[in-house]
Structure formats: structure tokens, C-alpha cells
Chains A and B, each alone.
Chain A
Amino acid sequence: MSEIQGSLKMITNGSVLLYLIKGLGFTVVIAVFAVLLGLVIGTILALARNYCTSKKTVIFKWLSTAYIEIFRNTPLMLWIFIGLVYFPSVNVSAGFSKALGLSRTEIALLIKGIIALVLFTSSVIAEIVRGGLNSIPKGQFEAAYSQGFGIVRTLTLIVLPQTFRNIIPTLLSQVITTVKDTSYIANIAVAELLGRTFQVIQISPRYTGFTSQNVSDVFVLCGLACVMYFAINFTLSCIVRRLQKPKVRKPVSV
């Protein structure tokens, strides 16, 4: 029992708690960033895969198809390790490093992890966007063409706005998945929640007053991480569920 109390001391310790909450902050920021950037890249990929069908542009269709299929069908972990070795090391300014509270080496590693996450997430989002594009009736294109819109403005003014509106719930679901996917970055960098949790577990005796690690340390810290992930994702799920509820249509007035 005293072991548990010792472990609990860690989360009542303000600095440990703050350290972990900052980790949660990184987790959320990384996930949102990955999804937003993934949305931009994914949209371009989806458009290329769907509409670059003429002889001149078909190469883009094949390139984007290859990209999407490669990253969607291989594990994220793999790309994080490949990135660790092959992605460029970004040197950030000392001020930026201080503002984030991370060392410059840590940031360089973190960026490699984020690049891998973006590559992976963009391929998944590309398919979400493509699903949305394919659900737009052909008549919408035809109406636009008949009015004299070319393909670019048909897409930007008429098709994409409807697509994005339709895929909002699926995109939010992808944020949930990506929040969880950020934990893979714990394997190479200590910034987001799970990485920091591991970090604290490793040095737990410093806070518990015991001379060695205890099983209860793992229980308490991983439990706390669980609660934090759950709080974020469950909130998102509730939003998704609300958005997916069929809207009550106004009765048709004649």
C-alpha cells in the first residue's frame, strides 16, 4: 500500500504533473498539425489520383497512387525508424528550443518523427478526401461545366466545399487515430505524452522516495497517461457522434 502512496506522490508533485501535461500539449499540437498538413497534402494527392486522367497528366495519377498505397500499407513505426536515419536533421534556433522547453537534439528528433507521421497521415487522409470526392454526384460537375466553369473552378467552388463538409466527421475520427499515433514518436524522441511518461517511470525513484522502481509506478503513470489520452479522444468521439447524427430535415414546403 505504501508503494502506491509513494507512486501517487509523483502526480501530486507539481513539476512532474506539469511535465506530463506539457507532453499532452505536444501530443495534441503534433496531432492537429499532422492532420492539417495531411489534409493539404492529402487533398492534392486525392485530386491528382482522381482527376489527372488525361495523357499529359496521368503520371501524377500514378505518382500519387503509389504514394498513397505505399504509406497506407506500411506501418508508421517503420517510417519513424527510417526517418530517424534518413530524414534531415533540422537545426532550430536556440530561442525556439528554449521556448519549447526541449533541447535542440530533441527537437531535431521530434521533427523527424513528425515528418514520418505527416507522410503516413496524409496518405490516409488522401483516401478519406477521395471517398468524399467520389460521393459528390456527377451532376454537380455537369452543372458547373454547363455554366462554363473549367475543372479547376468546378473543384474549388463547387466540389471541394461539399467534399470537406461531408468528411468532417471522418476527419475528426482521423484526429483521434493520429493523437494515438503520436505515441509512436516516443520511440525516438521525448516530447509527447507517452515519451514523457516513460521518462518519468525510468527515474521514478527520484520522486517516490524509494530506492528502486515499483510496479505501482507504472500503474500510476500509465494510468494517468491513459486518462489524459481518453479525455481528449472521448471528447472528440462525442463531437463526431453528434455530427454524424442525421440532421432533422425541415418538412418540404410546397
Chain B
Amino acid sequence: MIRLENVHKSFGDLEVLKGINLHVKEGEKVVIIGPSGSGKSTLIRCMNYLEEPTSGKVYIHNHLMSRSRRAFINKIHSSMVFQQFNLYPHMTVLDNLTLAPVKLKKIPRKEAEQTAMGYLKRVGLEEKAHVYPTTLSGGQQQRIAIARALTMQNRIIFFDEPTSALDPEMVQEVLDVMIELSHEKNFTMVVVTHEMGFAREVADRIVFVDGGVILEEGTPEHFFTNPQNERTKAFLSKIIR
């Protein structure tokens, strides 16, 4: 489904990813964790080519990613939810949800709106369809962003620290939506997060990244109860009290 082969990424002199090999299977829920500055955000952004790797290969569904094929591959395979929501502020919530299906997949507007309303209902915000995103709280905006990611009906969804910019009391409402999504067998989810409770509950596999390399990966059970790597242990001891 998603395959990264020896991916390196440098920003100027700073090498952020130092050879990442990762294979995410169809339907798998993978949670990437690691200290800040470890490269985990860069890693997930390389998967849909928001960052172009300096070297190495990214395959989505056996399509080799490239700068020129990014738009096409993202259109048919993946969606992303961002830390800062990145809703389009000049459009209503409903238009945010229907823009890509109507413009990219040529779905008739009526049909796209029906689908969109369905997803808004799913995230519990159907009554906000005709307001502008800036009038909503962070938690609501992020739920809308998740609904927007779903409207393209792609099988892969990337979550790049979806709860990190939220006020604490709004984190749970977003996590609840994500947990509900994770019950769907055919969704492949890759999540960068600091929410360990969520990782434990949802992940099929946890990937621990530090210093631009994958230090350890395994099931949540293995990861939280019996970590092997020293740095994993140190990281966990800091965040789990």
C-alpha cells in the first residue's frame, strides 16, 4: 500500500531523515511517535510528497511517487489532516468539503453535497454546513478537516499531529472521530501523534522515530510494555507518568 525505500531528506545542511524503510499494509493503522525534531512529521509529509525526499523512493499502491505525479496520486489514493486544520477560509464548510470532489473527480455538485452532508453528520457537525470555518472552534475545524479528507473517498488518510494545535478540552472530540474511523477495515491510517492513549487503542503497529531513523517498531503491546531500544525506553519514561 505505502512503501518507503531508503528515504533521505535534507533541508540545506540539516539531514532530517536518514534512510527510512517502511511498508504500510492495506487497512493497517500505523502510529508514528517520537520526540519533537525527530523527523516524524517530515516522514509523513514525504509519503504524499508535500516534501520531496532528497533520495529514496516512495510507492503508493505500487505507483512510484514523483513531483509531477504527486497531484494525480494524491487525488486517487490519499488525503491528509493537518495540525493547523488548513480549511479554506473563503468557503463555507460545505464548499470546503465539495471543492475537490467536484473539481477533481467531476462528481455532480448535488451528489457531492449529499455525500458531504453524510460525512458532516458522521463528525457531528451537519448543522455547520453553511457557516465559514473561522467561526468554529479548533476542535470543530479539525473534525470538518477530517470530513473533508473523507469526501474524496480515498483509502489512505494521513494525520499529521491532528490534535497538537487544539485546546485540551477539544482533543477528545477529535480523537473520538479518529477512533471511530479506525474501526473501518479498509482505511489505511498513518498517524503522527503524541496521544499515547490513542496510539495504544488504535494502532496495529507503532513506529518510533528519532534522529531521522526508525529505532523500533511493533505492536502497541510490545511497544509500551517491553520496548527494546534504550532511547525508546527513555522517551516513554518521559511521557508516561
Interface residues in chain A, defined as those with a beta carbon under 8 Å from any beta carbon in chain B: 137, 139-140, 142-143, 145-150, 153, 157-158, 161-162, 165, 249-250, 252-254
The residue from B76, B88, B103 contacting A143, defined by CB atoms under 8 A apart: B88
Q: Which residues of A contact B117 (CB under 8 A)?
A: none
Contact indicator A139/B82 (Cβ below 8 Å): yes
Q: Report how far A164 CA is from B158 CA in the complex, Å.
A: 31
Q: Which residues of B contact A158 (CB under 8 A)?
A: 88, 99
If A146-B82, A148-B72 are given as contacts, then 10 extra A-B residue pairs at C-beta distance below 8 Å, sorted by A number, are: A143-B80, A143-B87, A146-B48, A146-B50, A146-B78, A147-B74, A148-B75, A150-B71, A253-B136, A254-B139
Q: Report how far A146 CA is from B100 CA in the complex, Å.
A: 10
Shortest Cβ distance from A158 into B: residue: B88
Contact indicator A149/B100 (Cβ below 8 Å): yes
Number of residues from B at the complex interface, CB < 8 A:
35
The residue from A139, A253, A254 contacting B86, defined by CB atoms under 8 A apart: A139
Q: Which residues of A contact B104 (CB under 8 A)?
A: 147-149
Interface residues in chain B, defined as those with a beta carbon under 8 Å from any beta carbon in chain A: 48-50, 70-76, 78-80, 82, 84-90, 99-100, 103-104, 134-137, 139-140, 148, 152, 158, 170
Q: Which residues of A contact B48 (CB under 8 A)?
A: 145-146
- CB-based closest 6 A-B pairs: A148-B75, A143-B86, A146-B80, A139-B86, A147-B100, A148-B74
18 contacts between A and B (CB under 8 A): A142-B86, A145-B71, A146-B78, A147-B104, A147-B148, A148-B152, A149-B71, A149-B100, A149-B103, A150-B71, A162-B89, A165-B90, A249-B134, A252-B135, A252-B136, A253-B137, A254-B140, A254-B170
Q: Which residues of A contact B49 (CB under 8 A)?
A: 145
A145/B89 contact (C-beta < 8 A), A139-B82, A139-B84, A252-B136 known: no
Contact indicator B90/A147 (Cβ below 8 Å): no
Shortest Cβ distance from B169 into A: residue: A254
Q: Which residues of A contact B78 (CB under 8 A)?
A: 146
Q: Which residues of A contact B89 (CB under 8 A)?
A: 162
The residue from B50, B71, B139, B148 contacting A148, defined by CB atoms under 8 A apart: B71
Report B61 CB to chain A, min CB distance, Å: 14
Most-contacted residue by chain A among B76, B84, B170 (CB, 10 A): B84
Shortest Cβ distance from A164 into B: residue: B90
